[in-house]
Amino acid sequence: MAGAFGITLLCSWLFFTCIVQAQTGPIDVTQLGAKPDGSADMSQVLADAWKQTCSSTTASTILIPKGTFLLKEASLVGPCKAPVEIQIQGTIKAPEDPAQISKDKEWMSIMYVDQLTLSGGGTLDGQGAKAWTQNECRVKTECSKLPNTLSLNFVNNTVIRDLTSLNSKLFHVNLFGCNNITFQHFTITAPGDSPNTDGIHIGHSTGVVITDSNIGTGDDCISIGDGAKQVNISKVTCGPGHGISVGSLGRYDNELPVEGIFVTDCTISGTLNGVRVKSWPAAKSGSATNMHFEGIIMQNVSNPVIIDQEYCPNNQCTNTAPSSVKIAQVSFKNITGTSATPAVVTLLCSKSIPCDGVEIADIDLAYNGNQGNVSSNCANVKPTLSGKLNPPICANATIPAQAA
């Protein structure tokens, strides 16, 4: 009996140990049936793995190992009972045809989750080339929206690191209603002519950090929409693309204020714009305040420094009234390098609500082209100037008497 009892205890102890290991070790999607062959859809497998990890009362991990996995679409919804990590070591591919993704759905969406980590060194491949030919939103106001690669909605206290987003159909990453999100060592890659492929779009979110990342795409490397607050962008390399932008703002009713945007120690190369604040010419109100761009290196960038309150791409404007978005407390400091256009600083503020509290300091931008002399263009703003300014900035700037 003693021997049998001892064996039972040993077996029980071993069994308990196995159970603990099963609960605390990563859930490998290939063990649940996913095939790294690039053709078998892993949507249901990922949903099952998410259900298991999200219901765990201890921190847990989903592992997508090396290999190529096809994913038709994924909707991962919390709240979860404990922190969750998704380690993507392989490549996850979207369907080439956007029609295979449910209408009004994103390719990968994560909602209502706290303490999430996305990591692993792998790639999210949106396979966007076919979809780009179907994108009419850049020229039409009424159009069918393509799916974003990764949408985070109401996600908090989350880290996305050591991942690549490749060839998204629309935005690579879209944030809405999020708090305390960090991107680190994040790579975004798409051709410079891929339409509306914003790198990271931030809307209605607070406490977003983007650092030590490389973004090259067909639209804004980073776009900051209404309701974004306390956004810190540093050590980002941007290009190709349309630069790092606040806006566009003032296109829709009831937009929330933008506050606290800090862009520092970044390099922007070969883009259509550098650092930009843009709003539509319309009577819809809004505000963007406390925005600071400092320590930026420009390499052959068109429009390196720009405030554009007459933003109207593809002549889509139906209202020619001046912008009603208030822009205030903005600084551009220590910005150096080369411009692809003669106008290296352009500050076109609203006639009805001129920009206020704009600071320009230590600008040294050279233009080596043959389209005219290096210059600045300023309207409805009188910035505070200091330090070295090459070229001279806003020498003849005025504010309309009725707005002063």
Annotated catalytic residues are: 242
Tell me the CA end-to-end span of the chain in Å, nearest whole number: 97
Task: Pull the structure tokens for residue 198.
Answer: 């914003």
- Cβ pair 358, 333 in contact under 8 A: no
CA 365/CA 343 separation, integer angstroms: 10
Per the listing, tokens 């979110």 go with 205
Torsion over CA of 396, 317, 135 and 225, rounded to 10 degrees?
A: 60
Non-local (6+) Cβ contacts of 78 within 8 A are 54, 110, 111, 112, 113, 114
- DSSP states of 327-380: EEEEEEEEEEEEESSSEEEEEE--SSS--EEEEEEEEEEEE-SSSS--EEEEES
CA 315/CA 101 separation, integer angstroms: 31
CA–CA–CA angle 358, 362, 367 (5° rounding): 105
- Cβ pair 172, 152 in contact under 8 A: no
Please tell me what DSSP assigns to residue 322: P
User: Phi and psi dihedrals of 26, rounded to 5?
Assistant: -65, 150
Task: Pull the structure tokens for residue 274.
Answer: 């550098």
Q: Is 187 exposed, middle or buried (0-12, 13-18, 19+ CB in 10 A)?
A: middle
- DSSP states of 113-158: -BSEEEESS-EEE---HHHHTT--TTT-SS-PPPPPSEEEES-EEE
